[in-house]
């Protein structure tokens, strides 16, 4: 994997778009991706977004979503170079306000009502059930690399969840089951003068839509099942399937959703630690996040 090749990627994209030069302005940049605003000589603008694996399929997801009628930014051009994706996107400008719960519920209804796309990865019951065992495999790899050594509590928690996973994963394919945005937060919903657009489709998949609804309020605060139940009610009122309120895995929908969303996040954090980021310097932060989420999972899934 090469260093960030954003300049070469941008050159390729400008060529594809029949442009020659652009002034670059950073909007948000981190180690695995970046977003910039481009201003062209004729004063028109576009968004330049680049990201490395595993975020390098977003152009396909955005084009699929657009084809199926989901409001998303238009992809003007995209290219891949040395494991990095670059995209020229429609510039939606500054939002007129922040997205609220009503906006989120309405957008989720549209997304979850969209026809399933076969190109997306699938998180069915079997895949959901194996999340804790997959996390244990990541832990084994980390320990082989002499990392995550004092984490017996993490191993114990994952063992307990793995043993309960067969029963608790029941109901995975109960509606809404289909498109899952997976980064579904107010910051991913752009409210503009001409309506709303969903952003950030880098990790979209086919799976239980309740994971989107569980992610809406973020993961920094303690999970709040009562707050999520209100959001689920709003979702149904806005036209979402009433099955969103159905008990699954022997649990109320809101506890099931929050518990499995946190378990999904744990497995992702641990895979990042060993595979995508693979930087021991980040271990303390990742271990702290994993411990916090696992405490929530044990409580929410009642294991």
Higher pLDDT, 30 or 193: 193
Tokens of 119: 């190109």
pLDDT band at 277 (very low <50, low <70, confident <90, very high): confident
- Greatest Cα pair distance, the chain, in angstroms, is 61
Per the CB < 8 A criterion, the answer to whether 148 and 142 are in contact is: yes
Going 214 to 216 to 218 to 224, the CA torsion angle's sign is negative
The pLDDT of residue 3 is 67
Mean pLDDT of 54-83: 95
Tell me the pLDDT tens digit for each residue of 216-237.
Answer: 999 999 999 999 999 999 999 9
- What is the C-alpha to C-alpha distance for residues 35 and 50, in angstroms, rounded to an integer? 7
At residue 112, φ and ψ (nearest 5 deg) are -70, -20
Tell me the pLDDT tens digit for each residue of 83-96.
Answer: 899 999 999 999 99
- What is the C-alpha to C-alpha distance for residues 218 and 262, in angstroms, rounded to an integer? 10
Is the pTM higher than 0.75? The answer reads yes
pLDDT band at 145 (very low <50, low <70, confident <90, very high): very high
Q: What percent of the chain has pLDDT over 70?
A: 99
User: Domain locations in the chain?
Assistant: 6-89, 101-300
Topology of the domain covering 101-300: Aminoglycoside 3'-phosphotransferase; Chain: A, domain 2 (3.90.1200)
Considering the four listed CATH numbers 3.40.50.2300, 3.30.70.100, 3.40.50.80, 3.30.200.20, the one that applies to the domain covering 6-89 is 3.30.200.20
Give the DSSP H or E segment for 232.
helix 225-237
In the block, which residue shows the tokens 């050594």?
Answer: 149
pLDDT band at 149 (very low <50, low <70, confident <90, very high): very high
- What is the C-alpha to C-alpha distance for residues 280 and 192, in angstroms, rounded to an integer? 41
Decide if pLDDT at 2 tops 60. Answer: no
Decide if pLDDT at 4 tops 80. Answer: no
């Amino acid at each position: 994997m090469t260093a960030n090749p954003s300049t070469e990627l941008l050159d390729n994209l400008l060529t594809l778009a029949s442009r020659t030069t652009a002034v670059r302005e950073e909007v948000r940049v981190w180690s695995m991706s970046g977003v910039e605003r481009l201003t062209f000589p004729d004063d028109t603008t576009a968004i330049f977004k680049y990201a490395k694996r595993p975020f390098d399929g977003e152009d396909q997801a955005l084009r699929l979503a657009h084809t199926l009628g989901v409001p998303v930014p238009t992809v003007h051009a995209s290219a891949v170079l040395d494991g990095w994706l670059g995209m020229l996107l429609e510039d939606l400008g500054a939002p007129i306000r922040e997205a609220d719960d009503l906006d989120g519920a309405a957008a989720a209804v549209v997304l979850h009502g969209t026809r399933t796309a076969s190109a997306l990865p699938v998180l069915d019951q079997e895949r959901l059930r194996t999340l804790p065992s997959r996390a244990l495999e990541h832990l084994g790899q980390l320990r082989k690399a002499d990392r995550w050594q004092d984490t017996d509590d993490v191993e114990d928690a994952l063992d307990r969840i793995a043993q309960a996973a067969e029963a608790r994963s029941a109901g995975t394919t109960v509606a809404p089951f289909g498109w899952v945005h997976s980064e579904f937060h107010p910051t991913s919903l752009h409210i503009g003068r001409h309506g709303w657009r969903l952003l950030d489709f880098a990790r979209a998949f086919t799976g239980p839509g309740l994971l989107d609804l569980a992610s809406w309020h973020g993961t920094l605060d303690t999970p709040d099942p009562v707050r999520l139940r209100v959001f689920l009610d709003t979702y149904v009122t806005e036209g979402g399937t009433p099955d969103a309120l159905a008990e699954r895995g022997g649990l109320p929908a809101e506890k099931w959703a929050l518990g499995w969303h946190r378990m999904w996040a744990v497995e992702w954090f641990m895979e990042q630690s060993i595979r995508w980021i693979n930087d021991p310097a980040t271990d303390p932060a990742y271990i702290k996040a994993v411990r916090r989420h696992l405490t929530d999972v044990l409580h929410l899934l009642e294991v």
